[in-house]
Structures are given as C-alpha cells and as structure tokens.
Structure 1
Amino acid sequence: MIKPVRIAAISFDHGHQYSYLRAMLSIPDLELVAISEPNHEQRVRAEAMLDEFGVRDSVRVFSNHEELISCDDVDAVSICSANVMHHDLVMLAADAGKHVLCEKPLATSLSDATAMVQKCAESGVTLATAYPVRHAPQVWDVRARLARGELGKVHSMSMTNVLGARPRGWFIDPAKSGGGAIRDHIVHATDLMRWFSGSEVQQVYCEADTLMRDIPVEDTGLLIEVFASGAIGTCDPSWNRPTTWRKWGDVTGRIMCDHGVLEFDITDHAIQITSSDVTRPHAEVSFAASMNEALLRDFAVAVFEGREPCATGKDGWAGVASTEAAYLSAKTQMFVDVPSYPDA
C-alpha cells in the first residue's frame, strides 16, 4: 500500500469537483486535508459532504484558494474552477510545489496551456488532465481490443458528447468559460479518438452556432478531424438535446476498423462488437462510481510513484489545440491545421 497522498480540493465551480470529493473520501491512497471555495453556497454543499463522511473536523475549509495553496501539508490539489481560472491556479500550485489534477478543458488558450505544462515540468510536479471518461470500463475494454488488433486498423471514428441538461451560470458566460459546447465537449471526444487511434489530430473542420437557446455562446456544433494515421473522426459536442431527454448527457463512440466495428455508450453501460463473422453484445459493466474513483486513484499512484498519469498535461494541451482550431474553422469555414506540442 502506498503512503496516502495529501490532497486538497480547490474550487467547486465545476460540479465535477463534488464527484471527485466523494472519490477522494473513498480511496485509501488519498487523504483529503483541505478544501477551498469562496462561494458560500458551494462551500456549504461541500461541507455537507464532509459531514456525510464524518470528516468535517479533520478537513480544513478555506474561502481563499491562495491560502490553501500555501499550506505545507498539501501534496496535491484538484482544481475545478471556472475555465479561465485554470491557468492562474495551476501556476500558483506549481510554484508551491503541489501536484495538480486540473479539470478539463486544461485552458482557454493554447499559450496558457503551454505555460501550464512547462511550469509544472520545471517545478517537478505532476500535471494531470481530468479526463474521467478514459477510466470508464467500457472505454478501457474498447481500447484494449484495439491495442490487441482484434478488428485490425482503425479507419474512422464517430463520437458524441452531448448534453440534455441546460448549462447555466459561468458555463454560458464566455468571459469565464471561454466558449460554449465546443469548448466544453470537444476535449472528451477528441481525447478518446487520439487514445484509440494512437495518433494526433492534424486538421479540423467545424460548424458551430447558437440554435437552441438565447445564450451568448454556441450550443450546437459538428466536427470533422483528420488524424496523422489517416483515420477520420467526427464529433458532436452539442448542448442541444431537450431537457426531457432520457439522460443528462452521453459519451458514445463508433470505431470502424478493417474487420468490424466497436461501439460503446458509457451512459447505457453498453459495448457491442460487430466483426465480419459474428455479432455479440459484451457484458454490461457499471461505470458511474468507478470512473471518477479510477481517475483519482491513477493520479494518486502517479504522484507517489513519480510516473505519468493516464492523461497528462500534454493530453490536455492537445484538447485545447483541437478546440482552438475548431473555433478558427467555424469562423473561416475552412479546414484548419492543428499544431503539435512545441517539443514534438
């Protein structure tokens, strides 16, 4: 058993932090020592979770992020602020020698993302991007089959990461979010396609608009991504499903290979493999709790062992690169080249 990593939760602006907090309190490899949240209502909600787990007296609660970051007994932090704050908080944490798990998207500009990755490397701290979907059992199963070459080479991929719930608050404030559905959801789908194909995105074409609601950011979009391997991917990151939809959102994928198709839906717990000679459903598996726990457990072990996490800062950088290219494509109505990481 590893020595527990002393972790703190910084900001509950993004609701994912509540799920991560529950995971932190459930994993022996992590010791939650502090949380910080300036917003009273969000702080009270987090404190209620501490009460639920019976740890309210042992976890310090701050209303100031910088004060928490300065604590000597914090090894690592999980940052779930509004998107535009990621850069400043990660830089402060790295300066203080804290390992960082940063909510997606890593940043709202490529220059910020580059600075964050480089700062953490220079400071000798781990920078992990919170891509919990990588840790869904369905996704692991699909990736393992692709790695074994069960169905041959990947030729095309089609992903959705859509929303039925209505985004509100800072999510629809471009000054805080950096954009709408494109900024919010491209990163998951693009990350999975990179992971499945083992290849980087070279070009992006994007259509994006605000079609469903009177909000100042886009709620609808479609992308085509061309990969270095020659594979082609499509992505629907829209926030355009009705509020009466049967689920809050989804992450689905269809991967076309030489000898068949792999399909998955993490919200329906489903995997289906269709080969040239057999069609059979894979056993359903539960993912909802284990996905976030697996993300936090991987981060803890990466910090303890000094290895890279499953999704690194550079993986987060790649998501930002595709997003920036998508916005430029939507503006110019042209395919846009996606840059490679500067040290590549």
Structure 2
Amino acid sequence: MASQPRAGIIGTGFMGSVHSRAVHAAGGTVSAVAGSSRSSAEAAAASLGARSAAGSAEELINRDDVDVVHICTPNSTHADLARKAIAAGKAVICEKPLATSVEDASELTELARKAGVVATVPFVYRFYPAVREARDRIAKGEAGRLWLLHGSYLQDWLAGAEATNWRVDSGLGGASRAFGDIGVHWCDLMEFVTGHTITRIMAHTSRAYEEREIRGRMSSVATEDGATLLFETDQGASGSLVVSQVSPGRKNRLWFSFDGTEASFSFNQEQPDALHIGRTDSSSTVPVGPETLSTPGGRRYAVLPPGHPQGYQDSFNAFVADTFSAIKGQPPEGLPTFRDGLRAALLTDALIASAAGQSWVDVPAGRPLEYSTSYPAVERQTQ
C-alpha cells in the first residue's frame, strides 16, 4: 500500500463528490471512479479528481492501485459491493445504510471482522467539535444523571408532491426512508454522545404525499416521509425523536438536547459553531474553536478559530482522515465502523416493526461481535 491509502469511489452523484473531497483533504488520491457505466465514470472522473475511470464496480474493486473502496451507490447495492470489496482484501467505507436488512448488515460485520479489514460507515455528525465537547463533558459527569434525551432531524428536500429521488423507491432505498436515511444519524449521535443504548421504542410513521414519481410514473409510496418515536435506554432515560424530510425551510436541522439533573447539552447542525449548555443558575453558548473548547475531543477536531464555522464537509473530511489512520494501523477514538452500521439496521428494523404493530418493540443490543482483527482498538472504543 502507498504511504497514503489510494481510494476507489463507486458512485458519481452527490455523495461521491463529498467522498472525493474528503480523500483529497486527507492527502490521499482517488485512483479510479466507477459509475453506472464507463461513460458516466469518465464524465465524473475530472470533477472527482480521479486519475482514471473504471469500466465497472467490480473492475475498480480488483485494481491494484485501490486500497480502500468507497461505496456511494443506492442502498440496495451496498451489501453486494461491500462483500466483494472485503473478499478482495480492501478496506471499505460504505455509505449508510450498511445494508437494507439486519441479516446482510450482520453478515458484512462478521466478514469484515474475519478478514481483518478496516470497514467504516460515515456517521459523520460525530466529528463536529461541539459534539465531541458535549460527549467529553457528559462523560466527566457535568450533566449529572441523564434522564431525558430528545431532538429532531428535519429536512425539506422532499417537500412538494413533485419531488422525488431514487430513495423514494423502496426497491432501491429499503423499507424505511426518512428514519433509515436520517433518523439513524440522530440515534447514532445520541448513543455516541451519551453512552446510553436504546433498548425499546414506540414508533409511528407517516407520509405527506401518498404518491410520487417512481421509475418514471406516479406510484403509491411505500416508505415514510416522517417518523415520530419514543424510546427508553439501558440507563433509565427516556426520549423522543421527530424525523422529517418534508419540513419546509428546514434544510438539514439535526438538533438534540440531552438533559441531565445538573445540566443540559444542546446542538443544532444548522448552526454548528456553538454548543449550548444550560444550568438552573446560568445558560451559556460555547463558541467552537481550539481556544474556547475545553476537552481533548472538542479541541482535536476544532481546526479553525472561533467565528469560523466548521460544517458538514469538514466533519466528513475528519471521518475519512480517521479511517485512513486506522488503515495505517493507528485507529483513533470514536471511529464509526460496520458494527455501528449493524446497530442502525437493528434500530430501523425495530422502527418498522413498532410502526406496523403500533406497539413497543425491544431493540437488540446490536454490538454482540468482539473484534480480534488488526484494528481492535477501533471497535473497542466505539462500544
């Protein structure tokens, strides 16, 4: 392997461009890109900064100049491509969902463990400096006993009956859309920041529009535009979450408030340059910067002075850089791996069951596999 991992990106859409920028920011190279055809790959190669275009995903996976495979394709293709990349001995960065079924997600997690390859999933909201600051402060006990964990993730990209995307097609996107696409991000963030694990949920899903354009014609929609859920955790906290992809004016508002007996910690992804800390005798907004944040986690990812917001692409860059560190044998703390992708699949499966049965559903722990690979610290530190 070269001194910096050489990437191959499968997928030429928005996420492919996000991945390519992150690879370059980490000092890596994009050796090749693959699309739905060679012509689409050739058309995208220049904009993604790729050295060449591959004729197919399989051709890219088996290239000698590709060390890590980035899977940025429709959800239904993730499992097959990840299997092939692991079989080829390549590190893998697979967009979430890792798979559209728990069975596939569990199999991929085990395959990566046995192969000893670094395999990560971009739960990139973990990489905001304010988020790491909140995590470190909560771990030190500043919140007291966490008892109420609540928030929302709201978007508007599907507002309007005419709005559509391949994700609307359950055959490509999976059985859950709003929760499976963005709700799992919030749940991952909650569990990562608080150290709590969701043990049971009560969910309701809904649609703003019963029909959308799917594969060129108006069809009934099988997946949800929004979801609301109540949950309980293994440490006795309760919580709630509202998820929507049809909330006009909300572009990407991931918001949480984690409330303890001593303090609450609140973060809004649309305003990522601050962490709000509330106490009964005071309330403060901590600006993000290496001089203003007080914990090792916060300072590690704060690379700009206060007043210079770090956003989504910055967080993605940090995630890819940390994945590259793990590939080189230096696994950083808090890197989201295939085990976290399996966790998301278990939560999605529970949400679907709860909404269908209109009842509380238990969520399996979801982290049963103990890693004994060449990068055990990655798994140990994400538990």
- Asked if these proteins are the same fold (TM beyond 0.5), I'd say yes
Cα pair distance change 1:41/1:151, threshold 3 Å: farther
Q: What is the alpha-carbon distance in structure 1 between the residues aligned to residue 339 and residue 71 of structure 2?
A: 17
Number of the residue aligned with 1:281? 285
Once the 2 structures are TM-superposed, how far is the Cα of residue 268 of structure 1 from its aligned partner? 1.4
**What is the 5 A alignment of 1:137-216?**
137-166=129-158, 168-178=164-174, 179-212=176-209, 214-215=211-212, 216=221
In structure 2, the CA distance between the partners of 1:41 and 1:224, relative to structure 1 (3 Å rule), is farther
Secondary structure (helix, strand or coil) at the match of 1:161 reads: strand
| Residue 212 of structure 1, CA deviation | 4.1
Taking the aligned partners of 2:41 and 2:266, their CA distance within structure 1 comes to 40
Match in the other structure for 2:354? 329
Structure 1 match to 2:5:
5
**CA shift digits 1:64-88 (9 cap, x unpaired):** 1001101122111111111111110
Other-structure match for 2:24 = 25
Counterpart residue number, 1:103: 95
- Contact 1:18 1:46 survives alignment (8 Å): no
CA RMSD, aligned part only? 2.0
| Residues 106 and 113, structure 1, Cα contact 8 Å, conserved in 2 | yes
- TM value normalised by structure 2: 0.82
Over 3 Å counting, the alpha-carbon distance change for 1:47 and 1:4 in structure 2 is same
Q: Does structure 1 retain, via aligned residues, the 8 Å contact 2:204–2:229? A: yes
CA distance in 2: counterparts of 1:249 and 1:168, whole angstroms: 17
The answer to whether 1:292 aligns with 2:320 is no
Residue 237 of structure 1 aligns to a residue whose secondary structure is: strand
Change (3 A) 1:45 1:317: same
Indicate whether 1:267 and 2:270 are aligned: yes
Of the structure 1 ranges 178-187 and 282-291, higher mean CA displacement relative to structure 2 is found in 282-291
Unaligned runs of 5+ in 1: none
The answer on 1:258 being equivalent to 2:261 is: yes
Q: How many residues align?
A: 332
Fraction of identical pairs, as percent = 27
AA aligned to 1:176 is: L
Decide whether the 8 Å contact of 2:227 with 2:242 is kept in 1.
yes
Shift of 1:41: 8.3
Partners of 1:169 and 1:41 lie apart in 2 by 22
Moved more, 209-218 or 126-135: 209-218
For residues 44 and 237 of structure 2, the distance between their equivalents in structure 1, rounded to whole angstroms, comes to 43
Secondary structure at 1:151 match in 2: coil
Distance 2:338 2:330 in 1: 14
Residues 329 and 280 (structure 1), Cα distance of their counterparts in 2 relative to 1, 3 Å cut: same
Deviation at 1:184, TM superposition (A): 1.1
Q: Equivalents in 2 of 1:282, 1:335: separation in Å?
A: 38
Change (3 A) 1:297 1:186: same
Contact 1:193 1:233 in 2 (8 A): no
Structure 1 residue 271: Cα displacement: 1.9
Calculate the TM-score normalised by the size of structure 1.
0.90
Deviation at 1:311, TM superposition (A): 0.5
What is the identity, as a one-letter code, of the residue corresponding to 2:230? I
Cα pair 2:42 2:53 within 8 Å, conserved = no
Alignment correspondent of 2:339: 314
In structure 2, the CA distance between the partners of 1:119 and 1:174, relative to structure 1 (3 Å rule), is same
Give the 5 Å matches for 1:84-103. 84-103=76-95
